[in-house]
Structures are given as C-alpha cells and as structure tokens.
Structure 1
Amino acid sequence: MTIAEKAFLGSLMKAEYLLKDTVIRPDQLEGTIHKELMRRMVEYHQGGKNIDLISLTTLPDLNSFGGMSYLSELLSYGDVERFEGIEKIILDLWKEREKKNILTIANMNDWDISKVITSLDKINQSKIDDHTSLQHALSSIYEAPWEDQEILHHATTGIKKLDEVTGGFQSGEVTILAARPSMGKTDVMLHFAKMVGWDGYLPLVFSLEMPGKLITKRLIASTGNFNRSKMRDPKNMLTATQKNKWSDVIHDLNETNIHIFDGAGQTVAEMRAKTRKMIHQYPNKKPILFIDYLTLISPSDVYGGNSHLQVTEISKSLKMIAKDFDCPVICLAQLNRSVETRANKRPMMSDIRESGSVEQDADVILFLYREAYYDKDVQDQSLEIIVSKNRNGPVGFIKVHYNEHTGKIEDQKN
C-alpha cells in the first residue's frame, strides 16, 4: 500500500472539505483497506458525520482497518498543502494499473486494436471533468437569438474608466500589475482588494514581502485618508477629528472581508491550498487572489538557478489557479531598471523583470506610471494606469488621482 494513499487518506482526515473536492474515487485506490476506508468516509460525510480521527474510531469494524494505531499512522502522513500533488500521484498509479489490466484482457480476448485504443483513451481522460461536447454547448445556446442575455457581473476594479476598458476582473483571468518601486503598486492592489470586497467578493491577499500588520495600517490610512506617517503613533499624531472617524473606518474595512496571508516565500501550491480552504469557509463568496509579488513566489523547482524558467513555471501555475478556481488572479510584478535609462520612462512589456511567459500567460497587463515621480516640478499628481495588454478588449491608459501620502486612489473628476 503506497505512501501516497496513506498521505491522501490522512489529508482527508485532517481537512474534511477535501473529500468534497477530490477527483479520486474509492475504487481508484490500490489497497483494499484503503478503498473500504474511503467508502466509509464518503458514507459518514453524506450522513453529516465528521471524518476526523475521533469520529472514525466509532467504526463498528475498526479492527478490520488496523484499529486506532493505523488510523493515527494515516493521520501522521496527511499533508494538506501538497494534496493536489498526492491526488495526481494516485491518479497516475491508477491509470498505469488500469492500462495493464486492459492490455491483459485485450490479449486474452483478442480485442480489435480500435477497441484497445478507445479503452486506453478513456483512462487517459480520467482527470478533473473539463469536457464539454459541442452538441451540449450548441443546445445551450440554441435559443440565444430570441432570449435576453444574462448580464454577467464582473468584479469592479473600483476605477470607473478602467472597468469600461477591461470589463472589471474576470473569472479565470490573470492580471499582472507592474511598475518600478515606489510607483504605487501595493496601494493600487489594496484599492482593488477593498473594492471587490465591498462588492461582495472574497479578497485573498498573499503578501510575500510586507507583513500583515503594515498592510492593515495602509488599508486604514487609505480608507480614512490619514497620512501614513501618522499611523506610526495614532494616539499622539491623529487629530481629534481623525480619531472620531477611526471606528467608522475600522467598521468599513471589516465589511471588505479581506484575508491576508503574509508568509514569506509561499509557493503556488500553498496558495492553492489556502484558497481552497477559504472557499470552503465562505461557500457563497467567489475568491479573488491578490499576490504581492511575482518573483517572490517560491518555485517548486530551482531550475539550476535559472530565474527565467522559475518565473515561467510560476506564471503558468497562476493561470491554472485562475482556471481551476474560476476566479480572477491579480499579481504584482517589478520592472527592470532599464526603464530608468530611457528618456521616455513609460513602461513597456519587455520591462517586466524575468518576464518568462508572463506576457503570454497574462490576460491583462497593467503598468503604473507617475510623471511626478521622475520630475518633482510637475504639478500633475495623477497616476497613469496603462492597459498594455487586454485579451478581451482595447488597450489604452487611464488617469486616476493618487495621494502618495495616504495611499488613496480616486477617479479623476472631469
């Protein structure tokens, strides 16, 4: 009986919600005891019972599963953050066993080669259900010319003109938000997070550089329009008027339902596991992921120190998260220093650091640019959001009002 199966069952005991998510069926496990134990887990779950260690000790035939000691051993193998990798191992092993079985049966019964190929293809298609027949798709759209179209609600960016250009944050899409340091990336990201939170979504902020406490202070400053420097000592530095406003700001921010994960060097697999957990905690809210920032994400492989390949892997993995969870993913990225050497410092695609396949994988690429950052004599304090790539719409740029002291972002008044 494989360690992968032990880790799989142990993970189900550790995090019961995985049972509802998993693509593995009991008959795809190899060990007879493991098959039967998963069947019992499914029965317990369907009956509204827990499937943790304590609940499973009430199994009437506990000894046939190796007793309490074996269940404890399974639990010790559980690894929730690597669950998807464990699933893949089990599925791959099952496919290999099934292929061998088919070839044996085909040999014994002298099957026609086309029947063998069809049977093997069925096994290879055993993965997450991503199949739609054209017949089914056509039948669902058959009445379209005579029906009012359902208006799809996309998450707002909180910036009116940007919504008009991009249609807001779309499910299954990756948006890259890139700029040089101190241009306002984190403030723009937190503005997006607040707005989608107030819009009823579930903003999940993965901050790989800035601690959660500092992000919280930034959110308070931008929402209350407080100078960030005052957040170091609110008691002595905030005015009486600002203090009176404090509880309202806290209340408003609570309404966003933002969740911050500030562990350094998080991997995409860890983000997936945390996202999956939050989805089960908030089943009625669609998550939107905000990641700060791209090259701080730990890759699953070091690729001999080749950062280009590392970023390529991460970029593709972010696209898979967006598709698998059917949610928007917004990821921040740094720009190369080469921007600073040009006369025109407005960013371009090639400026994305270690760009890898970022340009190809991203659905939307936004750059930030402030003229006042480079020329202190410029009176215009606006922030340009340059839509450099937009897979499903036009490109262009939008100017917003940005207060670099408070972090507040607002539509420009015409």
Structure 2
Amino acid sequence: MSLVEKAFLGSLMKENYLMKDTIITPNQLVEVRHQQLMMQMLELHQSGKGVDLITLSTLPNLAYFGGISYLNELLAHADIDKFGEIEDLILEEWKEREKRNILTIAAKDNWEISKVITHLDKINHVKMNDHSSITEALHRMYEAPWIEKEEEKIATSGLRELDKITGGFQNGELTILAARPSMGKTDVMLHFAKEVGWAGYLPIIFSLEMPEKLLTTRLIASTGKYNRIKLRNPQKLLSESHKARWASVIGKLNETYIQIFDQAGQTIAQMRAKIRKLMHQYPNRQPVIFIDYLTLIRPQQLHYVNSHHQVSEISQNLKTVAKDFECPVICLAQLNRSVEARANKRPVMSDIRESGSVEQDADVIIFLYREKYYDKASKDSSIEFIVAKNRNGPTGKIDVEYNEYTGRIWEETTGK
C-alpha cells in the first residue's frame, strides 16, 4: 500500500488539477506522514499556491516528511494515466480497514446489529465506479429494436388505470402519497403493500404513527371485507360465516410477506439498516418501501433553523434510499390546512407541507380526494387519485371504489 500511496501523492504533485478532482481524503491513507503531507498539500492548494516540489520544499516540517529526497521519490512514482486505478486501490483498502475497525469496536462495546449494519452501509456506499460513457450506454441499447424484450415484472399498485399512468412503482423512484388526515392514506398504502407482495416483491412498512397491531387489523379487515369495528372483538362480533373465512384470509395475507416496523421517530439511517438486513434475509424478493409518514421521520441532526431545512434533508435522503437500493419508495405526507379554506378542496402542489423540496425530490406525487369526506350526505363512496407530478410519464386522475368501514379499495370494473 505504501507504493500505491506514493504514486497517489506523487501524481498530485505532478498535476495540481488532481487536487480538486480526487475524492480521496487524508484519513483514507494508511501512513500517518502521508496523511499529514496530503493535509499540507490541501492547505496550500486552498490558499491558491502550487503543490509542487519547490513549494513543498519550503515546508517548515519538511524533515518530518523525509526531506527533498522523499519528495523526489514520490514524484518518481507518479502515474497520471493510472490515477483512477490508484484511487480505487486506496479506497478499497480503506473500506477493508474501516470494516475491521467497526467490527472490533462493535464486539468490544456490544453494539446492536442495526448499528453495525448502518455503519457498514455507509462505507459500502462510498464508490468510484458510477461512470458510463455514452458509447457504452448506446452499445447496450444497439440491438434493442430487434430483440424481443422480456416482460418486466412491475411493482403494481393493483389499480389498472393508475398503473397505466405511472407504469407501476418504478425502481429508484420516490412517490409521495399526500392527503388531508382521515382521507384514506393508510388504507391506500396497505392496499399497495398487499398488491406488491402478491406480485412477488417484499413490502417493507415503516409505520411511525400507527402500531403494528392496528395495521394488521386493517390488513385483515380490507382483505376479508370485515367491518373494522367488529374486529375490536372478533370472537363476539363476527358472524359464523365471517369466522369460517378467517383462516383463508390470514393465509392469503401471509403470502404478501409484508414486513412492519412501528418504532416512532426512526431516522433514515435506521431504516436503511433494517432494509439491508431484510434484503439479506429475503434475497429473492426485491423490496418496496412504504413510510407513514414524511414529517414523522426523525432527522439525523436534532436542531434545524426551520422545518423547511428538516423536510428538505429527509426528502433528499428518501430519494437516495430509492436510488441506492434500486427500489421504489412510497412515502405518505400530510397536506396543509389551507386546502380546507378553498371552495374547491382538491389538493394542489402548494398544499404539501414544505412543498418546495418535496416537489423537487419526488418522481411521482399522488393526491387523494374524497367528496364524501367533506359532504357527509354524499353517496359517492369513491376515492380520487390525482397524479399531479409524474417525472417519467403523464399526469391525470382516476376514481376507484373505497369502503371506509373495511378499508377495501378496488376498481369497479374488476370488482376486486
């Protein structure tokens, strides 16, 4: 590793532009004097001075670094053409050292497994090779018009008309599902979770408000078409015919593989650790992440100047989760009370709390609207899905049937 680090530092001395291009930091080098030398080089570069043999020879602590002879040795090892490979080697060695350090400290201090996974996860996401040239990208696409494409499995919403607009839940995309309280957001989320589960995915729900027991009750009610009130005391309130279907409903739900985490105030880092663990546990099922809801996610930093900065950090991190794990992320969000003051109460983008950052980071934004929510006398039981933003497709709206007593959602044409 000493030779690699010499080649790295020598290259920085030979071509100063590499100082601002490299992603290697001093602490990622092994030798302490190499770390110190790189810090001195960075200070010189940031002050507008050249980082060459002449400038470095004036360092007051030059003897510590081995004098002029050692600087000449570094220059002799410089290899500009292989600089990228040199960086890769340093980065990979640093990762291995960090992993060993983390596992040693974790064993000594008896860390929880989630903490270990979170720290290892941070290391694994430091990478160099995220580059593709247009030539490489086009080469992969060259024969596409003549090759029959395999039918891709999609994470379906279970609503045919909604899938026509959005294409289903796409890998790497962040979907925001927003509505006023009691509009049906959680029921819609659970409907989506069941459908992607039955389609062969791994639905992972982070419920930051509602406990697991209530979510499970809602899942049973919507699947079995049971009135939720009766599930408060199923032994007493369910009819014999309802009880006769109970086992089959439980069995059908079990096939979804839904995973629920209901700890309040979770951070994105904690969620990432849990996702990573489940991906190892279920390697053949791709995750689809559901979060209920946005402003209940605890930020990494506890103190913010304002809520806009807090929501901005969270929405950016959610998008990063979708990209890093190459999976869909569906996050619920509350709407401002301002919607209640308008004659037309259908939501618009500005109704999302701290809408600027959310609107920017989200790939898809879906609003929910129910006429019956505002007009109790209305016999319209439908729920309106308004696709207000769709980065990779059209916008539009659809109406689906909704039973607010069971939580069941279905399209009238299918009768599901």
Q: TM tier, shorter chain?
A: 0.7 to 0.9
Task: Describe the shift of the 1:220–1:402 C-alpha distance in structure 2 as closer, same or farther (beyond 3 A).
Answer: same
Contact kept, 8 Å, 1:312 with 1:355, in 2: the verdict is no
**Aligned AA for 1:369?**
Y
Residue aligned with 1:230, SS: helix
Structure 2 equivalent of residue 140 of structure 1? 140
Residue aligned with 1:163, SS: helix
Structure 1 equivalent of residue 109 of structure 2? 76
**Aligned AA for 2:109?**
S
Residue aligned with 2:276, SS: helix
Looking at structure 2, the residues matched to 153 and 233 of structure 1 have their Cα atoms a distance apart, in angstroms, of 40
Structure 2 equivalent of residue 150 of structure 1? 150
Uncovered stretches (5+) of structure 1, i.e. residues with no partner:
6-22, 42-51, 53-70, 92-124
* Structure 1 residues 9-408: aligned runs within 5 Å: 27-28=93-94, 74-76=107-109, 78=111, 80-82=113-115, 86=119, 127=127, 129-408=129-408
Shift of 1:384: 0.4
- CA deviation profile, 1:176-220 (whole Å, cap 9, x unmatched): 000001100000000000000000000000000000000000000
Looking at structure 2, the residues matched to 126 and 267 of structure 1 have their Cα atoms a distance apart, in angstroms, of 20
Shift of 1:140: 1.2
Shift of 1:88: 8.8
Contact kept, 8 Å, 2:174 with 2:330, in 1: the verdict is yes
Looking at structure 2, the residues matched to 157 and 193 of structure 1 have their Cα atoms a distance apart, in angstroms, of 8
Shift of 1:142: 1.7
Task: Describe the shift of the 1:85–1:232 C-alpha distance in structure 2 as closer, same or farther (beyond 3 A).
Answer: closer
- CA deviation profile, 1:38-73 (whole Å, cap 9, x unmatched): 8xx9xxxxxxxxxx9xxxxxxxxxxxxxxxxxx587
Looking at structure 2, the residues matched to 313 and 160 of structure 1 have their Cα atoms a distance apart, in angstroms, of 33
Shift of 1:136: 1.8
Contact kept, 8 Å, 2:304 with 2:310, in 1: the verdict is no
Shift of 1:301: 1.2
Looking at structure 1, the residues matched to 149 and 203 of structure 2 have their Cα atoms a distance apart, in angstroms, of 28
Residue aligned with 1:311, SS: helix
Task: Describe the shift of the 1:294–1:30 C-alpha distance in structure 2 as closer, same or farther (beyond 3 A).
Answer: closer
Residue aligned with 1:308, SS: helix
TM-score by length of 2: 0.73
- CA deviation profile, 1:354-413 (whole Å, cap 9, x unmatched): 224100110110000000111122221110011111111111111000000000000023
Looking at structure 1, the residues matched to 210 and 166 of structure 2 have their Cα atoms a distance apart, in angstroms, of 28
Shift of 1:138: 1.9
Looking at structure 1, the residues matched to 344 and 325 of structure 2 have their Cα atoms a distance apart, in angstroms, of 39
| Structure ID, larger Rg | 2
Shift of 1:90: 6.9
Task: Describe the shift of the 1:25–1:77 C-alpha distance in structure 2 as closer, same or farther (beyond 3 A).
Answer: farther
TM-score by length of 1: 0.74
Looking at structure 2, the residues matched to 289 and 150 of structure 1 have their Cα atoms a distance apart, in angstroms, of 25
Residue aligned with 1:332, SS: strand
Task: Describe the shift of the 1:135–1:82 C-alpha distance in structure 2 as closer, same or farther (beyond 3 A).
Answer: farther
Uncovered stretches (5+) of structure 2, i.e. residues with no partner:
1-26, 29-88
Contact kept, 8 Å, 1:311 with 1:356, in 2: the verdict is no
Task: Describe the shift of the 1:378–1:24 C-alpha distance in structure 2 as closer, same or farther (beyond 3 A).
Answer: farther
Looking at structure 1, the residues matched to 96 and 263 of structure 2 have their Cα atoms a distance apart, in angstroms, of 37
Residue aligned with 2:171, SS: coil
Looking at structure 1, the residues matched to 318 and 366 of structure 2 have their Cα atoms a distance apart, in angstroms, of 16
Shift of 1:150: 3.4
**Aligned AA for 2:93?**
D
Contact kept, 8 Å, 2:165 with 2:395, in 1: the verdict is yes
Shift of 1:27: 2.4
